[in-house]
Amino acid sequence: MSEPLRLSKLMAQRGLCSRREADEWISRGWVFVDGVKIDVLGTKVLPEQSITIAKAAEQQQSELATILLNKPIGYVSGQPEEGYEPAVALLTADNRWTESGGPAWHNKFLRGLAPAGRLDIDSKGLLVFTQDGRLAKKLTGENSRLEKEYLVRVAGHLDDDGLTLLRHGLSLDDKPLKPAEVEWLNADQLRFILREGRKRQIRRMCEAVGLQVLGLKRVRIGKVRLGKLPEGQWRFLETDETF
């Protein structure tokens, strides 16, 4: 017989919402198990039971904001470091891309907004912020298979063996890296397509084969591209866009 699980954990596992959202919905009486309303936090249910949510929860979820930023160098993507600003500081009405659509800017979009993934201080390009816990898990979860594409300017010599290693065969922190797609775009620029996101992964990969990274720009996550979004500006994820 299956072991009971906390309802909020099971909801997160099924991709219905984040655990934080699940707890909020449960406390509001918006969650039903086999048709019965559950409003007690910590309730455990069986993994095979049916879970449905109220229309109010669906409406709240549809209003969660996801924002795409073209992060410049010098901003940290997560917690601020001494002497540097977090990238979220760029999410203001004045920095919104004028050619983009979506709702009028309001400070409510900053509540619960968090970066879904990292982009280190020396790198620039596409950085995603979201209020949607489901999307954050899709982008950053251990089982995420979303591609992330980078343009990388390098200095140094790279022979065919080194290129083969970049594609598959390197390890970081004693853990093998997943296969990557790596190709030359021109004499000093490589394209990397990764399906994982270790800390400073591309810089460390290049260092391992004798290359120095001079510039790094993320241009795509899944099916969403940076496109013409100007550096330092942001836009909402469009309703017809999916990662």
Residues labelled as active-site residues: 120
Burial of 7 from C-beta contacts in 10 A (0-12 / 13-18 / 19+) = buried
Name the region of 189 (left: φ>0; alpha: ψ -120 to 50; beta: rest): beta
Residue 12 phi/psi, 5-degree rounding, is -65, -40
Neighbours of 218 (CB within 10 A): 24
Place of tokens 């594409």: 149
Burial of 90 from C-beta contacts in 10 A (0-12 / 13-18 / 19+) = buried
CB 230 within 8 A of CB 97: yes
Beta bridge partners of 150: 192, 218
Strand, helix or coil at 91? coil
Cα Dmax for the chain: 65
Neighbours of 231 (CB within 10 A): 13
